Amino acid sequence: MIGIAALWISLLLLGGGLALDRVLSDAITRNFDDGMNYVLTAMIASAEIGPDGEVLFNREPADQRFLEPNSGIYYQISGKGHEDWRSRSLWDRALKVNPEHQDDAPHIYDSDQFPGEDLRVMERSIILPGSRTRWMFMVAQAREGLDAQIRTLRSTLFESFALLALGLIVLATLQTIYGLRPLRKVRQEIVRMRGGEKNRVTEPMPAEVLPMVEELNALLAHNERQAEEARTHAGNLAHALKTPLTVIMNAATAQSPDLGDTVIREATTMRRQVDHHLARARAVGRRGAAHSRAEVWASLEAVERAVQRLYPEVRIDMDGDKEAAVRVERQDLDEMLGNLVENAAKYGGGSVFATVGRKESMVEIMVEDDGMGIPEADRMRIFDRGVRLDSGKPGTGLGLAIVRDVAEIYGGSVTLEESEDLGGALVRLRLPAA
């Protein structure tokens, strides 16, 4: 950043300095030329033809330097067939004249015809009254004064712009160092977190850096939650598998005659526990996907077809918003709806009704049955893993626990109520709308 700023400042000041030098140098040169043009015009205005046909002045030029030899300012009047009339300052020298060159307007140019003395020459061709000769009026002045002014100008410009460039580069450097200092503070905070001294960026930060720090702290909190969830899942899975494994080990040690049935029963329980925790793990891994989206009606139709094959005697009806979509992966939505509809078909009296609706920023899915319902005292407990109110039907008591866990992972909820229309249980699943 400092290097780019220094390069850009240098380029801009160089371009500006060159442009300003050209403008001011041209202004000084024009002022110099205007002085010569004034003298040339005065010479032409005071020139006339004498009795012998030669040019003479009815009044001498006011500048006394024309009378001093080698004074640096000269004039000369030349005409074809006539002797040149030169100022005394030229002494024994003469200005070069090109007889083929005629200028009705003032013509100015630089000349090095005098060794060691560069000249600025202005000339103009004039036909004076009473003469047919085209006279060339010439004024020349040494460039030494003009060049000295331009050198002083350029020296002043260079020093001023160099000082300005230095000041701007120092300012850009200080601004960059000061502006990036909060990022160095953030880096130091991260070093302390990696060293175990703290777990968050707690140093006060400027408003420009604060959003990044807040996002960093949110990321750390998210990672901590995921790590804690992973530890909890591992502990829960280990605890869930410990009892079936103990039963199998005891039956095998005692050489129980029903060892085969025991292994099958407990293995089924363990598989269901593993499926439960895998479902949670998949939901946790997918919940951060910004593109998560599932159509509720399509998922309900797929679940209805699957459950209908398992329970052909059960009637399943659906109604509500067919366009509703939720911010949930389709696999997880299928698993939640599958558990709810299957439970309603299994424990109901033969009729299941599913309704889809919207409520603010949530999609609400209600699954009702015409069974015996669930006592109000058991409506919270039934979501615990392994809890079954009807042990006469096959199952592991993990279906509602899976629905609750996956819904909460996606920011939703599930509650149990009593169905007013069918008289059985009503499960209300609320998920974020897509």
Token pair of 106 as six digits? 């003032």
Half-sphere exposure of 42 (CA within 13 A, CB side): 13
| Biggest CA-to-CA distance, the chain | 159
Q: Name every residue whose Cβ is closer than 8 Å to that of residue 68 and which is 6 or more positions away in sequence.
A: 88, 89
Please state whether beta strands 73-79 and 55-57 pair in parallel, antiparallel, or not at all (unpaired). Answer: unpaired
- Average pLDDT for residues 187-203, to the nearest whole number? 84
In this structure, what DSSP letter does residue 165 have?
Answer: H
Say whether 260 sits in a helix, a strand or coil.
helix
For residue 229, the surrounding DSSP H or E stretch is helix 210-253
Q: Is 94 exposed, middle or buried (0-12, 13-18, 19+ CB in 10 A)?
A: middle
Among candidate residues 156, 304, 205, 107, the one with its CA nearest the CA of residue 97: 107
CA distance 110 to 130: 32
Q: Please state, in angstroms and rounded to a whole number, the distance separating the CA atoms of residues 307 and 290.
A: 31
The pLDDT of residue 171 is 94
Does 404 or 155 have the greater pLDDT score? 155
Partnered with residue 78 across adjacent β-strands are 136
What mean pLDDT is predicted for residues 150-177? 93
The one-letter amino acid code at 222 reads H
Mean of the pLDDT values across residues 271-289?
Answer: 66
Q: What is the DSSP string of 284-297?
A: HHHTT-TT--EEHH
CA 344, 346, 351, 356 torsion-angle sign? positive
Candidates 101, 97, 91; CA nearest to 113 is 97
Beta carbons of 154 and 143 less than 8 angstroms apart: no
Q: Is the dihedral of CA 259, 264, 268, 274 positive or negative?
A: positive
Q: How far apart, in whole angstroms, are the C-alpha atoms of residue 317 and residue 3?
A: 71
pTM over 0.75: no
Residue 413: phi, psi to the nearest 5? -155, 165
Of 319, 411, 400, 409, which is closest to residue 362 (Cα–Cα)?
411
The DSSP symbol for 59 reads S
pLDDT in tens, 93-138: 999 988 777 788 899 999 999 998 999 999 999 988 888 888 999 9
- Taken in order of first residue, the domains within the chain and their CATH numbers are 2-149 (3.30.450), 210-286 (no CATH), 294-432 (3.30.565.10)
Q: Residue 397: its pLDDT value, please?
A: 43
* Of 180-189, 237-246, 248-257, minimum mean pLDDT range: 237-246
Grade residue 393 by pLDDT with cuts at 50, 70 and 90. very low
